[in-house]
Structure 1
Amino acid sequence: MAALPLRGVRVLDLTDGLAESAGRFLADLGADVVRVEPEAGSYSRGTAPFHEGISIPFALRNANKRGVALDLTAAEGRRRLIELVRGADILIDSPRPDGVAGSDVDPAELLVANPALVAVTVTGFGRTGPYREWAATESVIYALSGVLSRSGEPGREPLLPPAGLVEYAVGTHAAWSALLAYYSRLHTGRGQLVDISAFEVIVHGFDPGFGVQGSAAAGRKVDFPRGRPDAADFYPVFDCADGRVRICLLAKRQWRSMFSWLGEPAEFADPVYDTIPGRFGAADRLHPLIEKLFASYTRDQLVAEGATRGIPIGGVLAVGEVLTAEHYGRSGVFTDEQLAAGVTARVPAGYATIDGHRAGWRHPAPAVGQHNNELLSSESLNPADSESADATAESVIGDEAARPFDGLRVLDLGVIVFGAELGRQFADNGADVIKVENAAFPDGLRQSKRGAALAASVAWGHRNRRSIGLNLREPEGKQIFRELAASADVVLANFKPGTLTSMGISYEDLSVINDKIIVAESSAFGSVGPWSTRLGYGPLVRAACGVSDLWRYDGAYRGLCDGSTVYPDHIAAQVSAATVLAVLVARERSGRGAHIDVAQADTAIMQLGEHLVSESLAPGSVAVTGNDDPFAAPSGVFACAGDDEWCVVSVRDDSDWGRLCAVIGRADLVTDAELATAAGRIANRSAAQAPLVQWLSQRTPTEAMTALQDAGVPAAAMKRLPELLVDPQLVARSAYTSLEHPLLPASLPTASRVAHFQTVPDAPLRPAPLAGEQTREIVRELLSLDDTEIERLVDAGILQESPEPVTAG
């Protein structure tokens, strides 16, 4: 691809806080993103941490954008905005956290000015429902989403994740939703309003309890237990000669290799230890043996020995070590750039590589109003290369009821969580997604059914697909795949780098027979660099990116608290989906496909950016903070009345502090000399939080949350998974529906949607196929094979059919 895929697409970015990173992602992909700010600058320019007066989060989330400043409280400013809207393709808006009167824009008014505009609004809780006016912060959204209840150590308070992960997750989904509506517009000529709730994004898209590899079994229990899951031994961490490592003993072969390395101790020779539950139950005896074995090895030696033996082992890196790791330097995930004049930092470059080129950092975030002169001229207001739809709307009138990907065919080689989530984005939106499966190497999700006829994760992740059983290890199987690819649009895969090349079905191979094909590959650490061949499990990715080290209670705490999450699988899949969609947009103009490479580690590093950049600018400055926000107080997770009941409270500024003091009946604290300013409250955190702690201890989380939110103070009860199904906001917005499958004993709660579109329909709920269920149908329909040839291929094991289905019972 000669240029970035979104070249010629203009985006107006009115976000301020949540979803700022959406515009950055679109800008990385080539869109001309124009940041519209008040003349005094965005509220988010005051977001800590700072370096020499520069907000690091703002600098990262607004790189590659241009900027204009408008007074939207004045008629002239709103007139200029309408002029910008007439030349735009996409607008992304979020309300100002400081609630300046008259600064909000009406998306309906903007759509009148430009009927082809895709107007995306991102709010904490959406434009409808009982929480619609509530204040949202990352910790508030995280607490309400059900994820906080699973984070931390049993018997201790729940633990918030590192800052930034929630915002970037919301931004990724906002970028995907904007492109989905825009792609629809390219075929219908009409724009639409898209309503995104950050709450629903995290409920459904960060680490869903009712989704692929989620905690849904526990979530369906009425007696959901108090305390955090005991997950420390799922992916245990061990000290070694120069640090710590994490291991992932999942498959039987991995355990047998570990057993051999330990010297085959007799007490673990029983086949019961071939299973994960068997080893988990014996962790108190097994782990000391592993710890003793590892003590004399360095991290690099253990990782290398693990690779030789087929045992997944990864080093646990602190943020400073991530910045200097050879792999990240060679793979291009970091680049040394100017955040502002005279301030150079090592920054994450970008999420994806397209045709060998990183779609990432090009220039720093704009100063306030930096591009007013060039962007508010008459020539710029109607750019010649814009995809602006006044022209499109006149020339293309399609079926508004159609799904965006109707007519698109995807060959899906993806596996486990990432693969399921990536393919589902296209299947849910109309593509004919054909999952290519080999019975000899089943998808890991199909191996996790634990006695059931079908794993819940398969039902969730593989819905709306078809399945073909095909042996790609045989020449005839590879040839059939090539013939399918000749008329396909997209190939998705997340194997070890080089696997497609070794099978003769790489992008280079397939583009010879179909120059429109898009091949999207993903792996744990990408296709370049010394770690490219490492076994890629999410826990090892988190450990190698600094996420695990920061996801702790404090610097002295030796454990890691991210054992029950599958981050970044779902979000990395969304990154890949959005990148594929951007290339599909470009293909509308160029007619050519491309090769996409997304590393899950790169996703985590992008989303941990503020910590990494802070560390690069001031080595040793980034520390584990647990639930204490180092830049605000009171802020954290506080106990409420009841057993293991908690409420998150976030005081953003002095206005929040005044409102909080009024709610808890301590108006006197507003004028307290030590607590009147943010700096004073941070310096005297215990004194600032003590009155709140006392007040919360006498109230349930819901009572406290409601009282504080009604006053405008960000607060949230910690929700458990069953509570999500009856949460008033989620119910009001129909966030869940029921997924049926003939092999399931009962229906599953499932996401209806994440974003609310005006014209894009909700996903259908066709049941997930058995492996090879549509094999005959697919080769008859797409390759015109007759029954005689199909029988020959089945008998030869080239084509495979699903076994007789097991009833749910």
Structure 2
Amino acid sequence: MALPLQGVRVLDLTDGFGDTACRFLADLGAEVVLVERPGGSASRSAPPIRNGVSIPFALRNANKLGVVVDLDDEAGRDRLRSLAASSDILIESLPPGHLAARGVGPADLRVMNPALVAVSVTPFGQDGPYRDWAATEQVLYALSGVLSRSGEPGEPPLLPPNGLVAETVGVHTAWSALLAYYDRLHTGQGQYVDVSAYEVVVHGFDPGFGVQGSAAAGRSDDFPRGRPDAANFYPVYRCADGQVRICLLAKRQWRAMFEWLGEPAEFADPKYDTIPARFAAADRLNPLIEALFAQYTRDRLVAEGAARGIPIGGLNTVSEVLTTEHFRVSGTLVDTEIAPGLAARIPSGYTRIEGARAGFRFRAPEPGEHDEIVFGRNVPRTPIPAPRRPVGSRPFEGLRVLDMGVVVFGAELGRQFADNGADVIKIENTNFPDGLRQSKRKDALAASVAWGHRNRRSLGLNLRTPEGIRIFKRLAAEADVVLANFKPGTLASMGLSYEELSAINPRIIVSESSAFGSVGPWNTRMGYGPLVRAACGVSALWRWSDDSDGLCDGSTVYPDHIGGQVAATAILALLIDRLRTGRGAALEVAQADVAIVALGDRIVAEYLEPRSVTALGNSDRYAAPSGLFPAAGDDEWCTVTVRDDTDWRHLCGVFGRPDLIDDPRFATTVARLGHRDEVDRIVAEWTAERSPTEAMETLQAAGVPAGAMVRLPELLANPQLVAREAYTELEHELLPASLPTARQVARFETLPAWPLRPAPLPGQQTREICETVLGMSPGEVDGLVRDGVLQPAADDRALQVSGV
């Protein structure tokens, strides 16, 4: 398969955050050259390690070429300059100012190659009071507001599984790099991009101030203490051979469950058609469901649920994921060599393009393995033709996107193009409204709609009529991209498959997404994010122990946001390829694949050493002291991670305990792991006497990664986010008050900040689109409105005249 980024050259100077970005670009076909220091990257020792191989390094650096460059040597710096002169994109994750101090910073390299897109990805960005702070995933969870929502009521917060942040940061970095590169193709000028991992997690992982954010109105200082009581949002029940999760969201789903239960009289009241009423009665309802489910196996429950229209999914451990037939048949997991002499079962990659997996092709390089190949060639770059536009314009100006996406995934995906200048037309049917629109209260606009549908236009179109399909095809004939996240086969059943649309418009790109993809035995399973998390091992790790019935992921909508970003990045790669070939393509993203890639190191570790991966609560198998520690105050916490012996020495200095540095119980990582309870107690006694902010700032000043647990409203006053102007205000006439919203996720040197045009009402631009885009006459529009094909806004004159 010809991958879309073939011919694009990427220079990879990442070592930690950002390495997954370059892996994603390599999966999409870019030639990625990993530049390592003499002796190899520090991340080659990142745990878990099996057979002497760092699994995270092996996974995150597959599909790359490898060279060694000594940046402390002038000859080495010259080698880097020569590589940068022939590269399109450079991505680096070194500390702010590290490269510039050696004369090879992004600004220096762009002097010799003005077309270069240079991307820096660091924990907190290139400026602000946290600029030089250290971060781990635990620190970012705490500071981003994610941790404050994770756990069980009355219990300490629970850290989510490692890996989710690294992949989130990587995908956003890949998107940012390609967005700047796409802009360069049209302007001829490269630019500098500053990516803050902190801001990516705040805005892009599961944002409190974003689509389905749990902080839509949470702007006061009295945000509730403790964790939200979220277990019954998507409850988990024991069954004959394990556990299953159920999602009762729509009225019809509850009615089917009520019938299956034998229509118990105590739940016959119509009030139980609503989620809040069922939630309030969970103590009486759950035992009934559990007693019913105890008679069935997981697979039988899933099948019975599908037959009845009830979303049910099995809870899989990481070990079970490895042996699930669907993930083998779909190509989600493949058996391959990941290092010389070491084979394993691994996640292949995020996407399918033209039906083929765009994922793992060859193992990560040994240090300097490709020195001779890379430094011994002089291959000229082949220019990619693109229409010219001025620097500072929006990258997607002139593109038209037909957006059939729904709920969180759909909102996030379409917004990436709408925010960056595309004409995104949301196709809506008032008889089957987007789930986000159904979450409104009275006549107010749902906050998620305001966040997720901004900058779009809305076309009310009934695609359940032949005339509606004909109108859609007329739009598709001149469109660039079609977005959908329905059950596999839905577009084809409507006559709108990629094959049919490409016959009309060979340049069209059609992106389809679903829970488990179109290939494999689970391709027809009903899929919501909670069921995807349960099936892919995320939920099983997001709890206190393997024996715990309480899953702590109920308040998150992961992986919807990051899944949408994955699809957007792959579409952008296809747009770049289309400039060269003139042809569109079919793209598929399964949310399950997104979740499984994020757990890649756990999946491989479990494959190589069965039963080694378990839910650990807030413990870290590879670092001590590490985890969550109590701070002074009510429900106040601080994460601390001692990564190595250097961090330990610095920590002992902060505590005024030099005697602990060489104490044989604590002097090495292995020794500290063997005395975890003792070292954790030492940290807990110190943090308990300080506010979380004081503890964090003191430890960070000494170079020890630490993060205070932040509640969502506190993000708006966080000094780092304020200094970097991370938030602005979003207004809409149907909102009772303005909403905080991201200004941008990454900082671009020349791309403008996102516009904030208000989200449309359903069908608000129907007449405008039909008359100006399709050339319909007012009378023709009126007739189609009367026939129920077009659905303009409620105040449209045709509706009033016809009495509809």
1:398 corresponds to which of 389, 399, 406: 389
The 1:618–1:104 alpha-carbon spacing in structure 2 relative to 1, beyond 3 Å, is farther
Unaligned runs of 5+ in 2: 797-804
- Counterpart in 2 of 1:544? 535
Deviation readout 1:697-723 (Å, 9 max, x if unpaired)? 100000000000011110000000010
8 Å contact kept, 1:43–1:97: no
User: How far apart are 1:488 and its partner, in Å?
Assistant: 0.1
**1:737 maps onto 2:728 in alignment:** yes
SS in 2 for 1:616: helix
**1:409 maps onto 2:400 in alignment:** yes
Alignment of 1:106-117 (within 5 A): 106-117=105-116
Alignment of 1:490-501 (within 5 A): 490-501=481-492
| Normalised TM-score (structure 2) | 0.98
8 Å contact kept, 1:72–1:102: no
- Counterpart in 2 of 1:606? 597
8 Å contact kept, 1:189–1:398: no
- Counterpart in 2 of 1:531? 522
8 Å contact kept, 1:437–1:467: yes
8 Å contact kept, 1:87–1:386: no
2:717 corresponds to which of 715, 723, 726: 726
User: How far apart are 1:511 and its partner, in Å?
Assistant: 0.2
8 Å contact kept, 1:43–1:98: no
- Counterpart in 2 of 1:384? 380
- Counterpart in 2 of 1:324? 323
Give aligned pairs, total: 796
**1:84 maps onto 2:83 in alignment:** yes
**1:470 maps onto 2:461 in alignment:** yes
**1:373 maps onto 2:372 in alignment:** yes
8 Å contact kept, 1:17–1:96: no
CA distance in 2, matches of 1:190, 1:550: 45
The code of the aligned residue for 1:592 comes to R
- Counterpart in 2 of 1:74? 73
CA distance in 1, matches of 2:566, 2:480: 19
The code of the aligned residue for 2:118 comes to A
SS in 2 for 1:583: helix
8 Å contact kept, 2:37–2:70: yes
CA distance in 1, matches of 2:382, 2:523: 38
User: How far apart are 1:384 and its partner, in Å?
Assistant: 2.8
- Counterpart in 1 of 2:632? 641
- Counterpart in 1 of 2:561? 570
- Counterpart in 2 of 1:48? 47
CA RMSD of aligned residues (A): 1.5
The 1:231–1:105 alpha-carbon spacing in structure 2 relative to 1, beyond 3 Å, is farther
**1:580 maps onto 2:571 in alignment:** yes
SS in 2 for 1:232: coil
User: How far apart are 1:556 and its partner, in Å?
Assistant: 2.6
CA distance in 2, matches of 1:761, 1:568: 28
- Counterpart in 2 of 1:141? 140
User: How far apart are 1:107 and its partner, in Å?
Assistant: 1.1
CA distance in 2, matches of 1:450, 1:217: 13
8 Å contact kept, 1:352–1:358: yes
The code of the aligned residue for 1:256 comes to R
The 1:432–1:396 alpha-carbon spacing in structure 2 relative to 1, beyond 3 Å, is closer
**1:506 maps onto 2:511 in alignment:** no
Alignment of 1:413-424 (within 5 A): 413-424=404-415
The code of the aligned residue for 1:350 comes to G
- Counterpart in 2 of 1:674? 665
User: How far apart are 1:555 and its partner, in Å?
Assistant: 2.3
CA distance in 2, matches of 1:212, 1:7: 34
| Normalised TM-score (structure 1) | 0.97
User: How far apart are 1:529 and its partner, in Å?
Assistant: 1.1
User: How far apart are 1:218 and its partner, in Å?
Assistant: 5.2
CA distance in 2, matches of 1:241, 1:331: 27
Deviation readout 1:582-602 (Å, 9 max, x if unpaired)? 000000000000000000000
- Counterpart in 1 of 2:801? none
8 Å contact kept, 2:5–2:28: yes
8 Å contact kept, 1:138–1:167: yes
CA distance in 1, matches of 2:131, 2:673: 30
8 Å contact kept, 2:13–2:92: yes
SS in 1 for 2:717: coil
1:758 corresponds to which of 749, 769, 777: 749
- Counterpart in 1 of 2:253? 254
Deviation readout 1:45-96 (Å, 9 max, x if unpaired)? 1100001100000000000000000100111111100000000000000016
Deviation readout 1:194-216 (Å, 9 max, x if unpaired)? 00000000000000000000112
Of stretches 339-348 and 212-221 in structure 1, the one that deviates more from structure 2 is 212-221
- Percent identical across equivalent pairs? 66
- Counterpart in 2 of 1:338? 337
1:746 corresponds to which of 727, 737, 747: 737
CA distance in 1, matches of 2:336, 2:661: 42
Deviation readout 1:343-397 (Å, 9 max, x if unpaired)? 1100001100000110000000000011111111242xxx23455x9xx8xx976
1:791 corresponds to which of 782, 789, 798: 782
- Counterpart in 1 of 2:674? 683
8 Å contact kept, 1:515–1:592: yes
Alignment of 1:681-720 (within 5 A): 681-720=672-711
CA distance in 2, matches of 1:278, 1:369: 62
CA distance in 1, matches of 2:517, 2:721: 37
SS in 2 for 1:671: coil
The code of the aligned residue for 2:774 comes to L
**1:212 maps onto 2:203 in alignment:** no
- Counterpart in 1 of 2:510? 519
8 Å contact kept, 1:218–1:224: no
**1:590 maps onto 2:581 in alignment:** yes
Deviation readout 1:742-782 (Å, 9 max, x if unpaired)? 11111000000000000111100000000100000001111
Alignment of 1:235-274 (within 5 A): 235-274=234-273
SS in 2 for 1:34: strand
8 Å contact kept, 2:543–2:550: yes
CA distance in 2, matches of 1:148, 1:492: 32
CA distance in 2, matches of 1:98, 1:427: 34
- Counterpart in 1 of 2:432? 441
- Counterpart in 1 of 2:7? 8
User: How far apart are 1:513 and its partner, in Å?
Assistant: 0.7
The code of the aligned residue for 1:27 comes to A
Of stretches 698-707 and 664-673 in structure 1, the one that deviates more from structure 2 is 664-673
User: How far apart are 1:101 and its partner, in Å?
Assistant: 12
CA distance in 2, matches of 1:497, 1:651: 46
8 Å contact kept, 2:97–2:105: no
CA distance in 2, matches of 1:295, 1:347: 33
User: How far apart are 1:217 and its partner, in Å?
Assistant: 3.3
User: How far apart are 1:340 and its partner, in Å?
Assistant: 1.2
- Counterpart in 1 of 2:128? 129
CA distance in 1, matches of 2:428, 2:408: 15
8 Å contact kept, 2:216–2:739: no
